[in-house]
Amino acid sequence: MHDSVFGYVLFVPVAIIVLLILAMVALEYTEQDPRNPIGAIPKVVLDYVDNSTLVTVVPVGVHRYDSIHINYTVDEEDFFVNATNRYTLDTNISDPLFTLNITVITEGDHYMYNCTVRVAIETPDTVYLWVLEEGDDEAERHRVPYTLLAEWRDMSEA
């Protein structure tokens, strides 16, 4: 009888410790973000709202970025909008001609988008963006909202 009582006294604390360790491992596993490389790709949305161009950076999926930088130049004056540990970032640009540089960093990945934008308002309901992307020879006309994916860059090139 004493052996069975001693066995229960030893078994119960060991079982509780094992269950607590398993619970902690399960909680740690569920708190981690799933690794979805496609969902981490940043989308850039250019829209024209209330007489200004709205530039928005947002992930394709649900992903928090280490840092997002929207830099733009208007008449040789530089402007910067930055955020860390965010899902999205946006800014309004009121000038109809600007150069845009977007950089997004997440873990070991680095995304960039560079272009020059000219806003062409044909009617209040018809707005086009003439976008000259880095490396292109000619600007392309796009209706608003214009959505594109940022280009992945190797961090060692940066």
Q: Hey, is 33 helix, strand or coil? A: coil
Residue 34 is given by DSSP the state P
CA pair distance 63, 59, nearest whole angstrom: 6
Confidence of residue 142 (pLDDT cuts 50, 70, 90): very high
Closest CA to 117 of 148, 88, 86, 81: 148
Q: Compute how many other C-beta atoms are within 10 angstroms of the C-beta atom of residue 110.
A: 19
Identify the burial level of 46 via C-beta atoms within 10 angstroms of its C-beta, where 0-12 means exposed, 13-18 middle and 19 or more buried: buried
The tokens for 75 are: 């008449």
User: Looking at residue 151, what is its pLDDT?
Assistant: 83
Q: What is the pLDDT of residue 51?
A: 92
Task: Supply the pLDDT for residue 108.
Answer: 77
- Secondary structure, 3-state, 89-137: EEEEECCCEEEEEEEEEECCEEEEEEEEEEEEEEECCEEEEEEEECCCC
Backbone phi, psi, residue 30, to 5°:
-75, -25
Give the global pTM: 0.73
- Least confident piece of the model among 5-14, 33-42, 65-74: 5-14
In this model, does residue 54 exceed pLDDT 80? yes
Average model confidence (pLDDT) for the chain?
A: 83
What's the pLDDT score for residue 29? 44
Phi, psi of 26 (to 5 degrees): -65, -40
Q: What is the pLDDT of residues 75-115, one digit of tens each?
A: 999 999 999 999 999 999 999 999 999 999 988 788 999 99
Kindly list the distances between the CA atom of residue 115 and the CA atoms of 19, 29, 107, 126, in Å, as whole numbers in the listed order: 56, 41, 25, 22
pLDDT for res 107: 80
pLDDT at position 124, please?
Answer: 81
Q: What mean pLDDT is predicted for residues 35-49? A: 83
